[in-house]
A and B are shown apart, each in its own frame.
Chain A
Amino acid sequence: MRVTQPAAAPLPTRRSCPFDPPREYEHLREREPISRLAFPDGKTGWLLTRHEDVRAVLADDRFSSDRLRASLPLRQPTIRPEDVKARAGMLISLDPPEHTRYRRLLTRYFTVRRMRALTPRIEQIVDDHLVAMERSGPPTDLVRAFALPIPSLVICELLGVPYADRGMFQGWMSTLLRIDVTDEDAFAARDALKDYMLDLVTTKRAHPDDALLSRLIAGEGAAQGLPDTALSDQELAGIGRLLLVAGHETTANMLALGTYALLRHPGQLKLLRERPASVDRAIEELLRYLTIVQFGTVRVAREDVEIAGRTVRAGETVVASLSAANRDPERFAHPARLDVARELNQHVAFGHGVHQCLGQQLARTEMRVAFPALFARFPTLRLAVDPERVPMRDDMFLYGVHELPLTWDR
C-alpha cells in the first residue's frame, strides 16, 4: 500500500484553553509524531511532539543549534550583517566546541550551591515586594508588582546591571519577544540593547564591581585553570544580553502564569499551602504543565538522521515542541492534569542536552521562595477580573500573562 505523505502544515499556535498547548499537538503526537512542518521562509522541515524524540534530538550532536542556519517556525525580523557580528558570546545559538568554552566559564556562577546561597537575598527581595503590594493594594497587577520586578532585580544584581535602567531594557526585551514585531521596531530594540550592554562592559572595565560581568572581565576562570578565559567586549556584551533576557522573562512568566494556574486549580493550591515542603515538586509540575517556551526549540541536521522511522535530511530544520513533549501520555500519567504531587517529573521545560538552561537552578530558587511567600502573605488571594479578561501572551515567544489583576481581603 502506498503511504501518502501528508502536506506540510505551519506550526500550530492557537490555544483553546489558556493552560493547554494547541490541540493539534495531541493529534500529531498520536498519528504522526514526526510531521512535516511548513516554515514562513518557504522551506519544509519537521515537527517533533513525542517526549522521547524531543529528548533524543536535543541530546544528539548530529544536530546544530545555529539559528542562522535554521528555518524558524514563526516569521522573525530580518537578521542584518551587524546582528550576525553581535552574536559573539550568545551561547544559546552556538555549537560545541565554541559553546563549551562559554558554558564552562559561566556554569560556576549558577550551581545549585551558589543559588542556594542567594536564597536569603531573594527572600529579602520577595518580602520587600510583598510589603509594597500590601501597602498599595488591593487590587494589584501581579506582573508589575511581583512577577517581573523580583527576577529582574535578582538578575541585575547577579550580573552587575543597574536596576535603575530597567525602564529601558525591559522595554527593548519585551519588543524583541513579540511574535509580530516589525523589522523597524526590532532593529531599534536590538541596537539599543546592544549599545547599552557594550557601554556597560566599558564601564565595568574601568570601574569593576563584585558581580558576574566584572568577574568575567577579570578572567576569574583563569585561576581555576580554565582555558581561553579572555573575552572581548563583543563577547561580554553578548553574554550580558543573553543572561539579562533569559533571567527576566522566564521566571517572571512562570511566577505570574503559575500563580494564575494555581488560583484556577484551588485543590492543587490547597495541597501546596498545606504542605509547603512539597513546593519543589509543585515547581517541577508547573514547569511541565505550563512550558512557557511555547513554540519549541529548533535544531538543524548536519547530516541525514533517522528519527521515528523518517529521514531528516542534512540541512533540514527540526522543531522540538517542548510543550507537546511535556504532555506526552507515554511519559506522564494524565498529562493534561496539573498534579503538584507528581513524582519523577522528567519534563523538558528547560530543554535537554548541552543547552539545557544554564539558569535553571536560579529559576527554581526564585520560585521556591516566591510562591510560598506570596500565598502565605495573602490567604485570600484571588482574581480581580473574570478569567476571560486575563490577557494571555499568545503573541509572545515566551508564554504567560500580560497582566494578572488580583485582589484579597485586607
Chain B
Amino acid sequence: MRIRIDHDRCRGAGQCALNAPELFDQSDDDGTVVLLDDRPPPELHDSARIAAELCPNAVIRLVEDS
C-alpha cells in the first residue's frame, strides 16, 4: 500500500493524526497533514484506511499494491 496526500485540500481537522498517529502528524506551522510513512507496514493498513475514510476533505488517497 502507498499513501498519497493532496496537501492543498487539507484544513487540519486532525482526524488522521488522531486515528493513525504512526502514519500522520500535523504541522506546527499551519496544522496541516504531515505524512510520516508513505509505505505503511501491513499492520498499519487498517489505520490508514480509517484515516482516509474519516478525512473530511478527501486528502488521503490509498493505492493498494496489486
Chain A CB within 8 A of B40 CB: no
Residue of A with least CB distance to B13? A356
Chain B CB within 8 A of A354 CB: yes
A251–B13 alpha-carbon span in the complex (Å): 17
Contact between B13 and A360, CB atoms less than 8 A apart: yes
> C-beta contact mask, A319-356 vs B, less than 8 Å → 1, else 0?
00000000000000000000000001010001111101
Which chain B residues lie closer than 8 Å to A302 at the CB level?
none
| Docked complex: B7-39 residues within 8 A CB-CB of A | 11-14, 17-18, 21, 25-32
Chain B CB within 8 A of A270 CB: no
How many residues does chain B have at the interface if contact means C-beta atoms less than 8 Å apart?
21
Contact between B14 and A104, CB atoms less than 8 A apart: no
A103–B30 alpha-carbon span in the complex (Å): 9
> C-beta contact mask, A353-376 vs B, less than 8 Å → 1, else 0?
110110011001000000000000
A344–B54 alpha-carbon span in the complex (Å): 9
Contact between B58 and A108, CB atoms less than 8 A apart: no
Contact between A112 and B26, CB atoms less than 8 A apart: yes
Chain A CB within 8 A of B62 CB: no
B53 vs chain A, min Cβ distance (A): 6
Which chain B residues lie closer than 8 Å to A361 at the CB level?
14, 18
Which chain A residues lie closer than 8 Å to B27 at the CB level?
108
User: If A103-B11, A344-B53 touch, does A112 touch B18 (CB 8 Å cutoff)?
Assistant: yes
A101 vs chain B, min Cβ distance (A): 11
Contact between B12 and A107, CB atoms less than 8 A apart: yes
Contact between B53 and A346, CB atoms less than 8 A apart: yes
Contact between B29 and A59, CB atoms less than 8 A apart: no
Which chain B residues lie closer than 8 Å to A105 at the CB level?
30
Chain A CB within 8 A of B44 CB: no
A106–B58 alpha-carbon span in the complex (Å): 20
A221–B28 alpha-carbon span in the complex (Å): 10
Contact between A113 and B26, CB atoms less than 8 A apart: yes
A116 vs chain B, min Cβ distance (A): 10
Contact between B56 and A224, CB atoms less than 8 A apart: no
Contact of B12 among A58, A103, A225 (CB under 8 A): A103
Residue of A with least CB distance to B16? A112
Residue of A with least CB distance to B12? A107
Contact between B56 and A107, CB atoms less than 8 A apart: no
Contact between A356 and B53, CB atoms less than 8 A apart: no
A218–B10 alpha-carbon span in the complex (Å): 25
A353–B9 alpha-carbon span in the complex (Å): 10
B1 vs chain A, min Cβ distance (A): 18
Which chain B residues lie closer than 8 Å to A344 at the CB level?
50, 53
User: If A107-B31, A111-B17, A356-B13 touch, does A59 touch B26 (CB 8 Å cutoff)?
Assistant: no
Chain B CB within 8 A of A187 CB: no
Chain B CB within 8 A of A196 CB: no
Contact between A113 and B17, CB atoms less than 8 A apart: yes
> C-beta contact mask, A105-133 vs B, less than 8 Å → 1, else 0?
11111111100000000000000000000
Chain B CB within 8 A of A308 CB: no
Contact between B57 and A112, CB atoms less than 8 A apart: no
Which chain B residues lie closer than 8 Å to A108 at the CB level?
12, 27-31
Contact between A111 and B14, CB atoms less than 8 A apart: yes
A352–B56 alpha-carbon span in the complex (Å): 5
Output the residue of A105, A107, A225, A364 with the most chain B CB within 10 A.
A107
Residue of B with least CB distance to A343? B50
Residue of B with least CB distance to A55? B56
Contact between B25 and A351, CB atoms less than 8 A apart: no
Which chain A residues lie closer than 8 Å to B56 at the CB level?
58-59, 351-354, 356
- 13 A–B contacts from the bound complex (CB under 8 Å): A107-B26, A108-B12, A110-B14, A111-B12, A221-B29, A224-B28, A224-B29, A226-B29, A351-B56, A352-B56, A353-B56, A356-B13, A361-B14
Q: A112-B17, A346-B53, A346-B54 are in contact. List 17 more A-B contacts (CB 8 A).
A: A100-B11, A104-B31, A108-B27, A108-B30, A109-B31, A111-B26, A112-B18, A113-B25, A113-B26, A221-B29, A224-B30, A225-B29, A226-B30, A352-B56, A356-B56, A356-B57, A364-B18
